[in-house]
Amino acid sequence: MAKLILVPLMSLLFLVLQSCSFTDDPSAFFSTSVQGIFGAAYSSDGRHVLAGSIQHGGSLWDTENAERLFNWNHQANLTSQITAMDFSAEGDFALTSDGRTLVLWDVSSGEALRFFNAPSTVLHLALSPSAQTALLGLANGNAVLFDVQRGGIIEELDQGHHILSMAVSNNGDYALFGLDNGQAKFWNLRSLELINEIETQGRVQTVALSNDGLFGLLTVQHIDAVVWDMRANALHSKLNYSNRFFPSFSSFVVAKFSRDGSKILTGNTTGAVELWSRENGKRIKRWITPVGSTFKPRIFSVVAVAINDQLRQVSAIVSNGTSYRYQF
């Protein structure tokens, strides 16, 4: 007797839509975790990935050799729930947080250099060049510029609303915040001044900044993804994803600009990784991270991405802890 297999409608629709988009297989992939991850971050060139595993805490990986280099936890002989992390722009240092504490690490030696208590629950963090300061997005709606070398708050940057996303330019000069009230706020981190506020029609779920801070990406949940000219405080372009039949079925959750600022790499909730032109918003390339078998689909959200223009590579790690590399 034939066995009837029922597939959930949304999963079936997703698989049909994914199959309509041609994509290349990954050139390399490896797993950083058995049970999934709380979060992850790539170095700017994609050479290293830092993963906060549900099972075994933090770990640093060499993506070229798929090799675990160090286990990074905040207490000896105990695993930590590493939920926020970032590399310095040059990739020599990394900062991790379990929400309550902060640890600064040397990427080359794996040594813990500094340990601090966080001023409040840390949701987001960004490490400055040379690891002098860190911008912390806190659960109380504040952002603080934190001294990573000596400890302590340098300045509070009150956002007034819940911070959904945060980005810092690679030169460390500018910060962009996406808020739950539909605003995005652009700050000068040198002068500690609010430069401008951008009003949108919904929650600003994801933001990214070009290396020089001249352009920003704002994704408004289920509505729009726009490139903003930060200097002119004006719309520059819109990402053209009009071919999506169900725009609310997936949302951009991570984004990075290329080193020269001409391209934007995004990852969404259904495992799609897409490369876009900053200038005209057109999609250059699309990749779909593997979702499992047809009758047992496993959809994993993208957690972090990186783009290496020199090697023409993009990297993406998804919520089950698998890191993928693709060529473009």
pLDDT single digits (tens) 4-63: 333 344 444 554 455 445 568 999 999 999 999 999 999 999 999 999 999 999 999 999
d(CA 168, CA 187): 9
Instruction: Flag whether pLDDT at 295 surpasses 90.
Output: no
3-state secondary structure of 248: helix
Based on the fold, state whether residues 116 and 38 are members of the same structural domain: yes
Based on the fold, state whether residues 17 and 102 are members of the same structural domain: no
Instruction: Flag whether pLDDT at 246 surpasses 60.
Output: no
- What the block records as the tokens of 131 is 């690891």
Based on the fold, state whether residues 7 and 77 are members of the same structural domain: no
Based on the fold, state whether residues 56 and 115 are members of the same structural domain: yes
Instruction: Flag whether pLDDT at 107 surpasses 70.
Output: yes
Q: Which pLDDT tens digit goes with each residue over 176-202?
A: 999 999 999 999 999 999 999 999 999
* pLDDT at residue 300 in the model: 94
Based on the fold, state whether residues 17 and 55 are members of the same structural domain: no
Based on the fold, state whether residues 45 and 14 are members of the same structural domain: no
* pLDDT at residue 292 in the model: 60
At which of 121, 142, 158 does a domain end? 158
Based on the fold, state whether residues 27 and 45 are members of the same structural domain: no
Based on the fold, state whether residues 153 and 41 are members of the same structural domain: yes
Amino acid identity at 296: K
d(CA 59, CA 46): 15
d(CA 73, CA 78): 7
Based on the fold, state whether residues 42 and 4 are members of the same structural domain: no
Based on the fold, state whether residues 54 and 135 are members of the same structural domain: yes
- Whether 225 maps to a domain, the answer reads no
Q: How confident is the model at residue 289 (pLDDT cuts 50, 70, 90)?
A: very high
- When mean pLDDT is compared across 12-21, 43-52, 84-93, 96-105, the lowest value belongs to 12-21
- Whether 222 maps to a domain, the answer reads no
- What the block records as the tokens of 44 is 């700017």
Instruction: Flag whether pLDDT at 252 surpasses 70.
Output: yes
Contact 191, 155 (CB under 8 A): no
Mean pLDDT for the stretch of residues 207-231: 94
Q: What is the CATH number of the domain that holds 76?
A: 2.130.10.10
Contact 172, 187 (CB under 8 A): no
Q: What are the φ and ψ backbone dihedral angles of 242, each rounded to 5 degrees? A: -65, -15
* pLDDT at residue 242 in the model: 59
The mean pLDDT value of the chain amounts to: 90
- Whether 177 maps to a domain, the answer reads no
Amino acid identity at 86: D
* pLDDT at residue 297 in the model: 59
- Whether 212 maps to a domain, the answer reads no
* pLDDT at residue 6 in the model: 38
Which residue segment(s) compose the domain that 49 sits in? 34-158
Based on the fold, state whether residues 112 and 151 are members of the same structural domain: yes
* pLDDT at residue 298 in the model: 76
Report pTM. 0.90
* pLDDT at residue 53 in the model: 98
- Whether 204 maps to a domain, the answer reads no
- Whether 121 maps to a domain, the answer reads yes
Q: Total domain count for the chain?
A: 2
Instruction: Flag whether pLDDT at 138 surpasses 50.
Output: yes
Of 201, 162, 170, 199, whose CA–CA distance to 184 is shortest?
199
- Whether 233 maps to a domain, the answer reads no
At which of 123, 158, 193 does a domain end? 158
Mean pLDDT for the stretch of residues 154-174: 95
Contacts of 8 (CB under 8 A, 6+ apart): none
Mean pLDDT for the stretch of residues 229-240: 96
At which of 108, 132, 158 does a domain end? 158
Based on the fold, state whether residues 84 and 104 are members of the same structural domain: yes
Instruction: Flag whether pLDDT at 312 surpasses 60.
Output: yes
Q: What are the φ and ψ backbone dihedral angles of 38, each rounded to 5 degrees? A: -80, -35
- Whether 130 maps to a domain, the answer reads yes
User: Percent of the chain having pLDDT more than 90?
Assistant: 82
Instruction: Flag whether pLDDT at 257 surpasses 60.
Output: yes
Q: How confident is the model at residue 299 (pLDDT cuts 50, 70, 90)?
A: confident
